[in-house]
Amino acid sequence: MIPWFTASESGKVFPRMDSRCAALFLSILALSPLAIADGRPAAAEPAEGSCPGGNAGLTLPKGFCATVFADNLGAPRHLAVAQDGTVYVNNRRRGGEPSLLALKDTKGAGKADVIETFGPPGGGGTGIGVYKNWVYVELGDEIVRYELKPGDVSPKGKPEVIVSKLPIDGDHNSRPFAINDKGELFVDLGSATNSCQRDNRAEESPGVDPCVELETRAGIWRFSADKPGQVFSAAERFATGLRNAEGIDFDEADRVFATQHGRDQLYENWPKLYSSERGSELPAEVLVEAREGGDYGWPYCYQDGFQQKLVLAPEYGGDGGKAVGRCADKLPPVAAFPGHWAPNDLKIYKAKQFPETYRGGAFIAFHGSWNRSSGGQQGYNVVFQPLKDGKASGSYIVFADGFRNGDGTGTEHRPTGLAVGPDGALYVADDAGGRIWRIVYKG
């Protein structure tokens, strides 16, 4: 059996079953009264009934319907939805065309019939958000904003720089962000290295101690969305020890949550301590409550999903999972997920269109693994993690699946962005096939 990691109310982690056992277990669970009595959402299952187009190729829990909102867009990364339903997208790989998109369904058909571009030509980025009458966008080493005027689908004016000179060198150069109702702008500054080694990603290279990279990277920085002309500085750091927190969002109590891309290459760099199988399952990906001044452990620690705790990384004296050392003082995650699934976005569901069991929980888009050396690549899905009072209140479920068949046939999709519309619909962006899905509950 290959383990997986699911957070329960008690914080325990349960073993993963292989696909045949998992299918049998889900079949039995579906017939069990406990599947109803505990109030948790049901896992994804084949589409039935009135959803046109068979859920656009996705597998969803019963009662949900997915349609293709837009297709062949290039490489849409993160997205945001304005109060009038316009979907704004930060997009990569559009050649010489403008890199940003504004999509609108003017006919109420669940599909964008107006597609406009704006912004500079070329590469685009990841982060995007809507706040007040502005569209905020990550472009290179800056966060800029475009003014939205009445009647315009896409912004027509020039951008205004909000934050400049963000560090973008090294392994992680995307700058995703989120803006809360108070106008606080939280920006992910992913690490420049895998694990702060003296020689990045090299076998048995020791870690730099202390890791000076943490002064300007591997954390979340806080700025003001209302103040143009800010310049990056180390002093604006909000939380540290997060290798790459691509998904950031807020619950109704204004708690800040973030996902983390766990480190790579435990087996490849430390084969004396980790088997290929162990390295494929470790570390667990995590969801954290990001607190001001909080330290979540990178690069000194990683989350061991088997033991449900932070343990010392081999670059800093770790012995393959027994030693804890300085990790005892780091903040633990809210929930953990299988290794290398790559959580690329996060949305706390605060709308009311979905059933009540989804209210306040976290949807996470997993981009999928690239470096599992054993057991095949995994992820490529959207999961739902129940939350209550800032803590996991049940096991996660795979909410949306079927993005990738994994056998080289057909279109391969990789979930990378999430947004919730004013009507409560969930949008999912895919940067491999260039598609955006819209998911609603029909009962």
pLDDT means per 10 residues, the chain with 443 residues, are 38 38 36 35 60 88 96 96 97 81 95 95 90 96 96 95 96 95 98 97 98 98 98 97 98 98 96 96 97 98 97 98 98 97 97 98 94 87 97 97 73 92 98 96 93
The predicted structure's pLDDT at residue 8:
37
**Residue 60 belongs to some domain of the structure:** yes
Give the residue from 3, 8, 2, 44 showing the smallest Cα distance to 385: 8
Alpha-carbon distance values, 342 to 261, 283, 310 (Å): 5, 11, 18
Strands (E), 2-94: 64-70, 75-81, 87-92
The predicted structure's pLDDT at residue 404:
87
The predicted structure's pLDDT at residue 183:
98
Tokens describing residue 49? 């009934």
Q: Distance between CA atoms of 205 and 269, rounded to whole angstroms? A: 8
Q: Distance between CA atoms of 167 and 188, rounded to whole angstroms? A: 11
The predicted structure's pLDDT at residue 123:
72
**Residue 437 belongs to some domain of the structure:** yes
Element (H, E) at 137: strand 134-139
Element (H, E) at 34: helix 34-37
Under 8 Å between Cβ of 386 and 399: no
**Residue 11 belongs to some domain of the structure:** no
Distance, CA of 121 to chain centre = 26
Measure the CA angle with vertex 167, ends 364 and 336; round to 5°.
Answer: 25
Give the residue from 5, 6, 1 showing the smallest Cα distance to 283: 5
Strands (E), 213-353: 219-224, 230-231, 237-240, 248-250, 256-260, 285-290, 301-304, 309-312, 335-337, 343-348
Q: What's phi and psi for 214, nearest 5 deg?
A: -65, -20
**Residue 322 belongs to some domain of the structure:** yes
Helical segments of 292-396, H only: none
Evaluate the omega torsion of the peptide bond into residue 155 and state whether it is cis, within 30 degrees of 0: no
Under 8 Å between Cβ of 188 and 245: yes
Q: What is the CATH number of the domain that holds 56?
A: 2.120.10.30
**Residue 268 belongs to some domain of the structure:** yes
Q: Residue 33: which domain range?
A: 19-441
Question: Which residue bears the tokens 């837009």?
Answer: 70
The predicted structure's pLDDT at residue 43:
66
Q: Distance between CA atoms of 119 and 117, rounded to whole angstroms? A: 7
Q: Distance between CA atoms of 7 and 22, rounded to whole angstroms? A: 17
The predicted structure's pLDDT at residue 375:
81
Q: Give the total number of structural domains in the chain.
A: 1
Secondary structure class of 31 (helix, strand, coil): helix
Q: Distance between CA atoms of 274 and 267, rounded to whole angstroms? A: 5
Under 8 Å between Cβ of 85 and 422: yes
Q: Distance between CA atoms of 403 and 366, rounded to whole angstroms? A: 11
CA atoms within 13 A on the CB side of 213: 30
Q: Which residues contact 410 (CB under 8 A, 6 or more apart)?
A: none
Give the residue from 433, 417, 414 showing the smallest Cα distance to 176: 417
Alpha-carbon distance values, 32 to 29, 183, 253 (Å): 5, 46, 34
Q: Distance between CA atoms of 346 and 11, rounded to whole angstroms? A: 20
**Residue 216 belongs to some domain of the structure:** yes
Q: Distance between CA atoms of 179 and 114, rounded to whole angstroms? A: 26
**Residue 345 belongs to some domain of the structure:** yes
> Which residue type sits at 437?
W
Q: Distance between CA atoms of 84 and 90, rounded to whole angstroms? A: 18
**Residue 13 belongs to some domain of the structure:** no
Helical segments of 243-380, H only: 266-269, 276-281
